[in-house]
Chain A
Amino acid sequence: MTYRYVIYDLQKSFNASFDDADFTLNQILYWVMVVANRMRLQQTMATNTDLFTSTFSSIEVKTDSKGRKYIDLPVQIMDLPNNSGVIYITYNEETCKCEGPSFAQVWFQGVNLGSVQHLYLDEYTKPSAQNPYFYRIGDHIDGVKVNRIYLLGLECVPVKDVEIAVKATLDPKTLCNLDEDIPLPQELIQELMMQVLQLGRFVMMMPQESSNDGEDGSEVDSRLYANRSASLPDSTTQQTAQ
C-alpha cells in the first residue's frame, strides 16, 4: 500500500467530517509517519520480526579526540531494551564462509555505557578484538549533537569499517516519493488509518474555550464555573438520607 493511497484516502475522510478544515497532505503524511513508527516498534516488540531490519555493509570506523573508536549511525534506530535496535555489528570481512557469515562468528555485543566498567572485571567478559562490544551515545558530546556507536575491544587493532544491521525508524524528511510503499505489513494499514483518523479527530474536537485565541491578558472564561455550586451534592440531603 503506497503513501499516496493512504494519505488521499485519509484526507477525503477528514474532509467528509470537517469540511471547513484545512488538512494538508504534508500534515497527514507526518501523522502517518508518526503513527507508523509507533506501530513498527510495537510490531517488533510483539513478533521480533526482521521486517524492519536494514543492513549497511560498510560503515567507516572513526577515532574521536580521545582515541576512542566509533561509527556514526547511518539512520535513526528504534530505542529497544538493551540496545536491541542494533541487531549486530560485525567485522567487514568474511573470514571463513564455510562456517557461515561473519556476523554469525564474531559480533559486537551491546552494553550500556554504565556497565562498561563491569565488563573489565571478568576475564571472560573483558572486551577484546575477539570479544568486542559497543555502546551508544545518542545525544551530545561536548555540546555537539551526535548519533554514535562506540566500539570496545578494538583499541589496539586497526579496523577500517564494520558491517551493521539495525531496526530503523522512519524519517519524514527522507521521504521523496508518495508512491513508495508504507513499510508496514498490509494487515496493519487499517490500524494505521484508524489511528491517524483518531489523531485528526482529536485535534478537530478540541473545545473552543480550551484553544489558544492568541490574545494576551484576556479574561478567564468563567462560564465553566458559573453553576458549579449548584451542581455540588447537597450534603444536608445526604445526611438526612443516612
Chain B
Amino acid sequence: MNSNDYVSIEHLLAEVTATINDTDYKKGFPKGWYISRIQDAMQELSFDTFWLKVQQDEIFPESCQIEMPKNTFNIREIYMYTGSLCNPQKTQMVYWKRLFNNTADGTGYTAQVKDDGSNGSDIYQPNQRVYTGNMQGFYGPKYYYNVINGLIMFSKECKGYEFVRIIYNGMGVENGDLPVIPRFFERAVVDYVEEKFYNAMKARDPRTYRPLWTDAYQKLNDFANGSWNKARKRIKSMDSKEKASMEEYISSMYHK
C-alpha cells in the first residue's frame, strides 16, 4: 500500500521510553542509542519489504560506469534517455547481462558470451557467432549492464543516450540522519526498539530483563500477530485501486 504519511522520531521515542521506563534516559542508553535502533529497524524493514524506492538521474558517463549511491541496494529499473534530465524524450530499457565486466569507456570488456556470440576458442562453450550473425533482427545495438563491487557497468552502446535513470531500493536514510518512518511501520519500529532495549539490558540484569525480553520478542516476532509480520504484510499488499485494476486486466486479457 502507498501513503505519504510519516511519524516523527519524537513520537516514537515518547512511546518507547515510557514503555521501558526510561523517560529521562538514565538507564545507561543515551537518546542517540534509541534513534540508532529506530534506524536499524527501518533498515531491516527496507531489506525485508523493499518499500523504499530511490531514483537516480545522471548524465551518462564516458566511462560507462556509475557507482551505486550509498544506502541503496537492489536495482529495480534502468532506462537510458535523450532530452534533458527533467524531460526525458526517447527512452531505452537497459537489461542485465550476466558475467559482463567492462573497462575504461566500455569498448573493452569481458563476458562469458560476447555481443556477437563469440567466445574465443573455448572448447566447452559453443561458439554462437555464426548463429547470432545469421539472426539479422537480433544483431543490433545491445543495452545491458552488470554490477561488480557496487559499480554499475554499461555496454558501450548505451553511450548513444545522454542520460540514465536508475531506480533502486533504499536502506532508509544515511546513518546519522533522522530516520523517516511511514505510519504503517510505527508498531513494528516501536516493538523492535523495545526488544533491542531488553536484549541489551539482559546482559546487565538477566533475572529482571530476560522475561521482559521474551515478551517483547514475542510481541515483535509472533508469526500470526507479531508487529513485524503485520508491517511486512501491510506494505506489500496492493492498494485497493491497484487490486481492482489488476482484476480488470486479468479478467479481460483473453477477450481482446
**Interface, chain A (partner B; CB < 8 A):** 81-84, 87, 109-111, 119, 122-126, 131, 133
Among A109, A119, A123, A126, the residue within 8 A (CB) of B25 is A109
The residue on B at minimum CB distance from A119 is B30
Is the beta-carbon distance between A133 and B26 smaller than 8 angstroms? no
The residue on A at minimum CB distance from B35 is A124
Residues of B within 8 A of A133 (CB): 30
List B residues 21-65 near A (Cβ within 8 Å). Answer: 24-28, 30-33, 35-36, 39
6 A-B pairs closest in CB distance: A123-B176, A125-B32, A124-B32, A124-B36, A124-B35, A109-B30
Which size bracket describes the interface of B in this complex? 10 to 19
Instruction: Give complex CA distance A111, B28 in Å.
Output: 7
Residues of B within 8 A of A83 (CB): 26
Q: A122-B36, A123-B175, A124-B36 are in contact. Are A131 and B31 (CB under 8 A)?
A: yes
Among B26, B30, B36, B39, the residue within 8 A (CB) of A81 is B26
The residue on A at minimum CB distance from B36 is A124
Is the beta-carbon distance between B33 and A124 smaller than 8 angstroms? yes
Is the beta-carbon distance between B30 and A111 smaller than 8 angstroms? yes
Is the beta-carbon distance between B33 and A82 smaller than 8 angstroms? no
A selection of 7 A-B contacts at a CB cut-off of 8 Å is A84-B24, A123-B175, A124-B33, A124-B176, A125-B32, A125-B33, A125-B36
Instruction: Give complex CA distance A83, B26 in Å.
Output: 8
A123: min CB distance to chain B, Å: 3
Instruction: Give complex CA distance A82, B176 in Å.
Output: 25
Among A82, A122, A131, the residue within 8 A (CB) of B26 is A82
List B residues 152-197 near A (Cβ within 8 Å). Answer: 175-176
Residues of A within 8 A of B33 (CB): 122, 124-125
**Interface, chain B (partner A; CB < 8 A):** 24-28, 30-33, 35-36, 39, 175-176
A113: min CB distance to chain B, Å: 14
Is the beta-carbon distance between A131 and B28 smaller than 8 angstroms? no
Residue in B27, B28, B32 whose Cβ sees the most chain A Cβ within 10 Å? B32
Is the beta-carbon distance between A110 and B176 smaller than 8 angstroms? no
Beyond A81-B26, A123-B36, A131-B31, 11 additional contacts (C-beta under 8 Å) are A83-B26, A109-B31, A110-B26, A119-B30, A119-B32, A122-B32, A123-B176, A124-B32, A124-B33, A124-B35, A133-B30
Residues of A within 8 A of B36 (CB): 122-125
Instruction: Give complex CA distance A87, B30 in Å.
Output: 14
Residue in A84, A109, A133 whose Cβ sees the most chain B Cβ within 10 Å? A109
Residues of B within 8 A of A124 (CB): 32-33, 35-36, 39, 175-176
B78: min CB distance to chain A, Å: 31
Is the beta-carbon distance between B27 and A82 smaller than 8 angstroms? yes
Residues of A within 8 A of B31 (CB): 109, 131
Instruction: Give complex CA distance A113, B32 in Å.
Output: 17
Instruction: Give complex CA distance A133, B30 in Å.
Output: 9
Instruction: Give complex CA distance A131, B27 in Å.
Output: 17
Residues of A within 8 A of B26 (CB): 81-84, 110
Residues of B within 8 A of A125 (CB): 30, 32-33, 36
The residue on B at minimum CB distance from A110 is B26
Is the beta-carbon distance between A126 and B28 smaller than 8 angstroms? no
Residues of A within 8 A of B175 (CB): 123-124
Is the beta-carbon distance between A82 and B32 smaller than 8 angstroms? no
Instruction: Give complex CA distance A86, B162 in Å.
Output: 61
Residues of A within 8 A of B28 (CB): 82
